[in-house]
Amino acid sequence: MRPPAWVWALAVLPRLVLFAYVAAEPLRGLVYADSLHYAALARNLAERGVFGTKVGEWDSERSSKRDAAELKAWLDGNLGPPFHHDRYRTPGYPVLLAPWFKLLDSPVIPMALLQTAAGVLTVLLVWHWAFLLGGPRGAAWAAGLTALEPAGLVHTPLLLSDTLGAALFLLGAFLFWKLLRAPEEKPLRAALIGLLFGGAIMVRPVSLYLYILLAALLWPRKKSLAVFLAAVYLLPALWVARNARYGSPTFSCITGWSFAEIPVEAGMLKAAASQAEMDRLYCPDQGSGQSTLKLFLRCAAERPAFVAKTLAKRVFYLFEGTSLDMLVDMMRAGKPPPPPPGPQGRFQFQRDHPFLAPFWLGGLVLLAALYALFLRGCWALHLEGKHLELALLCACILYLVAATLPLGGGGRYRIPLVPLLAVAAGAAYARKEPAR
């Protein structure tokens, strides 16, 4: 069965409107701090053949540079030499950006179009997968929730890796599910799926360690398991080897960043202010024995009440963080930065922009419904004896929550999570379909 017209409309129209808005003024696609770092890396790669930026590039205030001339001067000033050979960003997304710098002044418009297509395909794939698990009603709920989730929608046209990384990850998870359902060994298919997951890691490295858990689901098929793990970690291993040439064999991932955040807040680490400090904080040398996870565990042992209180607060962020502030930033693009804010509260943004309050509350309700349906879907999968599906979806979802919760687990960190939650939510209607 093909997705109905309304699913196509929900998937395409809002993303097309945002694409047109960014295409009319490409500076709007560069409002996020990380976007400028990606652009600098890609431009150096295209023009100098070096994956890095000028030494001392990291500037925590660069996201406030909204004027086009100032932004161009900032990018020109970070071409090097001397170069800092970056180990903080994985190269997948800058490699996709780099060719556009040879053809155009900015990669924003072509990448926004590509990411719009990726966002649409994500919604359609969620619909298809949920249809297989929960029938037409489950697929309708899953596609609607995914299409309208505000964080994923707002980030689609921005020069950020989240939308593409989430699309690759969801496609890999769907194909992995099909592999699990196959009755016999399929090592070639396992290898191709592993390479797809490896590509997703290099674009958006949130799922680096997840595949060790997923491999357990392939345990009875030893050949498929071996080639799957080898294929998943082939590209990351090459990246680690490259990093060894410029410092130490490290792999920066969002999990490492996430577990560094609470020790920073606890005063056990100084917040990063330079690119070299970013490497030391988020890509610690193996020889130092000071990985961010170990530091997080030490922080939990020394200050358990602080860590528990901080994590409990951030559970709320799983339901919040609509990224509507990014929409406001897009509106301000090309204008002088606003005056420095006064004392900020947790809901200061909502107080400053009351016209967005209905959208913020709507996003909160939508996410609460999504988590509730996810729990119902898990129970339905259990009752139907679909334990492989239950294990796959729960492993992915719980890993993504655990990996990003110390950072808050909201906003852009929720983008790869929502499609999987929606697929599981769609299964809630599996037992409600009329008999055929």
Name residue 54's beta-bridge partners.
83
For residue 340, pLDDT beyond 60: no
pLDDT digits (tens, 9 = 90+) for 204-245: 988 888 999 999 999 888 899 999 999 999 999 999 898 888
pLDDT confidence of residue 288: 37
Q: Which domain holds residue 208?
A: 5-27+108-240+355-432
pLDDT > 70: what percent of the chain?
Answer: 80
The CB-based long-range contact list for 224-227 (8 Å cut-off, 24+ gap) reads 224/179, 224/185, 224/186, 224/187, 224/189, 224/190, 225/190, 227/187, 227/188, 227/190, 227/191, 227/194
Domain membership of residue 134 (yes or no) is: yes
- pLDDT attached to residue 68: 62
For all residues of the chain together, what is the average pLDDT? Answer: 83
Following DSSP, what letter does each residue of 228-250 receive, concatenated?
HHHHHTHHHHHHHHHHHHTT-S-
**Range picked from 3-12, 37-46, 150-159 for highest mean pLDDT:** 3-12
pLDDT of 195 over the 70 cut: yes
- CA pair distance 3, 139, nearest whole angstrom: 9
What pLDDT sits at residue 84? 73
Angle in degrees, CA 357, 316, 203, rounded to 5: 90
Predicted confidence at residue 294, as pLDDT, reads 76
Residue 202 lies in a domain: yes
Provide the pLDDT for residue 177.
Answer: 96
Query: Would 55 be classed as within a structural domain?
Result: no
390 lies in some domain: yes
- Alpha-carbon distance of 284 to 400, in angstroms, equals 22
Handedness of CA 381, 387, 392, 398 (dihedral sign): positive
Residue 145 lies in a domain: yes
DSSP 241-306: HHHHHTT-S----HHHHHHHHHHHHTTSSPPP-SHHHHHHHHS--GGGT--HHHHHHHHHHH-HHH
Q: Is 423 contained in some domain?
A: yes
The pLDDT value given to residue 71: 66
Q: Which tokens sit at 162?
A: 């989240």
Domain count, the chain: 1
Q: pLDDT digits over 159-177, tens only?
A: 999 999 999 999 999 999 9
Say what the pLDDT of residue 32 is.
78
How far, in Å, CA of 163 to CA of 93, rounded? 11
280 is a domain residue: no
Q: What is the mean pLDDT of residues 130-138?
A: 94
Q: Is residue 88 part of a domain?
A: no
Q: What is the pLDDT confidence band of residue 88, given thresholds at 50, 70 and 90?
A: confident
Q: What is the pLDDT of residues 263-305, one digit of tens each?
A: 777 777 666 655 566 566 555 543 333 467 777 888 888 889 9
Average pLDDT value for residue range 248-267: 73
What pLDDT does 421 receive? 95
CA 177/CA 181 separation, integer angstroms? 6
Q: Which pLDDT score, from 0 to 100, does residue 171 have?
A: 97
Assess whether pLDDT exceeds 60 at residue 371: yes
Check residues 147 and 364 and name the one with the higher pLDDT.
147
Scored b (16 or more CB within 10 A) or e, 375-402 reads eebbebbeeeebeebbbbbebbbebbbe
